[in-house]
Amino acid sequence: MDSKVDTADVRASAGGISLARQFVLAAAGVLLFGMSAIGFWVSGRIEESLIHNAAAATALYVDSIIAPLTQELAKSNTLGEGARLALTETLSQGVLSEKLFAFKIWKPDGTIVFSNEDGAIGKRFEMTDGLMAAKAGQIHAEFDELEGPENEVERQSGIPLLEIYSPIREPWSGDIIGIAEFYENGVDLRSELTRARLQSWLVVGVVTLAMLALLFGIVARGSRLITRQRAALDEKVETLSTLLSQNQALRRRADQATHRTADLNERYLRRISAELHDGPAQSLAFASLRLRSILPAGSSDQDSERVKAALDDAMRDIRNICRGLTLPELDGLGVDDVLKRVVAAHESRTGTRVAFACDPVLPDLSKAEKICAYRFVQETLNNAARHAAGIGQEITASAAGSGIEITVSDKGPGFDRRTAGEGLGLLGLEERIAGLGGTLDLNSQNGTRLTMRLPGNTIQ
């Protein structure tokens, strides 16, 4: 995570609309569509039931009156004069005259055998759905749907009519001998249908609003919770971003301190080398010269010779230490040149051979990393010369991403680090490498193999 999380993206995902409002818009559309479909279905079923019940009641009443007057249709295709007069007189008096606007009797083949309109008697029309249903023994009703040429007069009345088709049966056989079609004044039925429709839609509307309000309450509560959690999350993200920035700044300061420490350490080593060279080394050289001048020529004093040899050995050791503490000038050198210099210095000092191989192109390292590589190779080669007699000394260097991997190995007897103790050289190497963010691996089976890895891209 290298930068602050842009929490505006989280808010923008909602399009500037809260979760509760999004739900209201979506749920309102879904509920309105679904409840509208239910409302139409329910109101349609109620209207069909009202129409059917009204038609059935009227048909039963009318059939009880006209069925005895039309039984001659079982044997004739027409009604006699007496039957027509009786029907006319019956339909023009009492309740039927108030309820019925028009009346027709059909033969099952679609021929009108009686009508309150004299001009319609004897005409034959195409069988309609109502006639077919009545012919099949069912009561069929249609409200204010006056279609077809046989309903021309009724359409012109301008009042709502309930069109009813009812079968006329022969009492003893139950056979359908005719079809009664009559039109009932539907003003009261229309009022009842309107009232039922309003009531059904009112129930649907109330249920829909109740469902929407309940769901909105649940979602609104969740939306407020999400808003609070988002605000808390934004605050935590901002805090983490601040801490991350501070951590990165501290990491840079730690890296800078590590590099400064490495530089100061090398300065101290140079100073120690200079002090040893200019102090004890000069004193030992002066003592050795004075010892030669004091001894008489041709003297064979064994004690004097031992003292002189000890002074010479001590002076050589101090000079070797001075050479090991002092680094050559590394500025402007590539990593391969640095490694070649430390190899050459080791071969000159120990008289052993070191096999060296590296990639053609190695990443550029900072000054601290070059010093680390120099000291790593110097220390491991010294250990190989001291503990493995310089047998099979080999160095390989290769690029590892933006960093470098250097391996120093020998074919000596190896050692067990758990029982060999912790020398200052190895501990110092581990601390120096870890300070630059690198790692050190040690394998001491069938020889010793040390591998240093530096990540590179550190502060120059």
Q: In this structure, what CATH number is given to the domain that contains residue 41? A: 3.30.450.20
Domain count, the chain: 3
Handedness of CA 238, 243, 249, 252 (dihedral sign): negative
> Do 153 and 268 share a domain, yes or no?
yes
For residues 159 and 303, state if they share a domain.
no
* Shared domain check, 340 and 315: no
Same domain, 243 and 387: no
Tokens of 382: 């010294």
Given a cut of 80, is residue 383 above it in pLDDT? yes
Q: Is the per-residue pLDDT at 278 higher than 60?
A: no
DSSP codes, 320-368: HHHHHHPPPP-TT--HHHHHHHHHHHHHHHH----EEEE-SS-----HH
Considering the domain architecture, whether residues 309 and 356 belong to the same structural domain is answered as: no
6 or 278, greater pLDDT = 278
Do 216 and 68 lie in one domain? The reply is yes
Pairing label, strands 448-454, 176-185: unpaired
Structural domain boundaries enclosing 176: 1-273
Cα(326)–Cα(346) distance, integer angstroms: 13
User: Is the confidence at residue 127, as pLDDT, over 60?
Assistant: yes
> Helix 335-350 crosses helix 367-387 at what angle (to 10 degrees)?
30
| pLDDT, tens digit, 9 for 90 and up, residues 313-333 | 676 667 666 655 656 677 778
Do 314 and 218 share a structural domain?
no
pLDDT tens for 73-126 read 778 878 878 878 887 787 777 776 777 777 888 888 888 888 877 777 878 888
pLDDT exceeds cutoff 90 at 406: yes
Q: Output the pLDDT for position 11.
A: 43
Q: Are residues 234 and 314 located together in one domain of the fold?
A: no
- Quick one: 101 and 119 in the same domain? yes
Q: Does pLDDT of 146 surpass 90? A: no
Same-domain pairing of 283 and 243? no
**Same-domain status, 139 and 264:** yes
